[in-house]
Amino acid sequence: MSADNTITLGNVWAKFNGPNLTQARDILAYKQKGYNFIRAFKLGLWDGRTHLMKPGGQFPAGLSSYLIQELKRQGLEGTTVDQREKPKPIPELLGLKTNIQLEPHQQQAVTSGLLNTIGITKHPTAAGKTVVMSELVRQIACTGLVLVHRKDLLHQTRREFAEMWNHSRSLITPDYIGIIGDGHWDTRDITVATFQTLTRSLKEQPEETARFLASIKQVHVDEVHHLPAKTFADIMS
């Protein structure tokens, strides 16, 4: 990057400022599948690419390492300003204990997640991804949102979290964990939600939904490949 280029990192979004904005936007862009059949492309009104960086330089913070790497390959230098804030744990959640002895691959995933703060855990079926997610939620111990894509997973995740946790002062039941979806809107320190319900709620009750999302300090997505990128961006915004 040019010495005048700066990437400012936030917890969710990052911002690129500097003379190489065009190059940065090109790096974080890709050709949309079937672009050559779309009318706007045929008319010369669109280049067929989807840009992950907005014209003003805002982009998902998780792409910052890739962007820096690719800019360096082009011989461009600059500075990175880390303004990420570490959320404060909630005393009530610090009292949560686990009933599970993690397998080595699960412990490795938890350790990596705590270290990197942003990432994707990829495990085969029945490898215990929910166990990893519950342990990350427990150890981070701040207001959390767990997103799922089906109603059965909504109830299953609440039940499994409750089964894996206990508390120094009380028995944990699924009611300890909030639920958004399948006709329910009951938020708690830790809430499991379907992204379909949250997306609809952003349109139908935007103020209440925005207040809830603003209170969230950690987000976990089950079966993340089912979550449309725009939907996730809308929720995280």
Task: Quick: pLDDT tens for 177-186.
Answer: 999 999 999 9
Average pLDDT over the chain, rounded to an integer: 91
Please write the tens of the pLDDT for every residue from 183-206: 999 999 999 999 999 999 999 999
Residue 142 pLDDT > 90: yes
Task: State both tokens at 17.
Answer: 């400022």
pLDDT at 19: 94
Give residue 139's pLDDT: 95
Alpha-helical (H) ranges within the chain are: 21-27, 39-42, 64-73, 91-94, 104-116, 129-140, 151-164, 195-204, 206-214, 229-236
Looking at domain 6-82, does it have CATH number 3.30.780.20? Answer: yes
Strand partners, 59: 14
Report CA dihedral (96, 90, 190, 99) to the nearest 10 degrees: -10
φ/ψ (deg, to 5) at 79: -125, 155
- The whole-angstrom separation of Cα 86 and Cα 217 is 9
According to DSSP, the residues that pair with 58 across neighbouring strands are 15
What is the CATH topology of the domain spanning 91-236? Rossmann fold (3.40.50)
> What's the pTM?
0.84
Provide the terminal-to-terminal Cα distance of the chain, rounded to the nearest Å.
Answer: 27
**Domain layout of the chain by residue ranges:** 6-82, 91-236
Q: pLDDT at residue 34 above 80?
A: yes
pLDDT band at 134 (very low <50, low <70, confident <90, very high): very high
Can you give the pLDDT at residue 1?
54
How much of the chain, in percent, has pLDDT values that exceed 70? 97
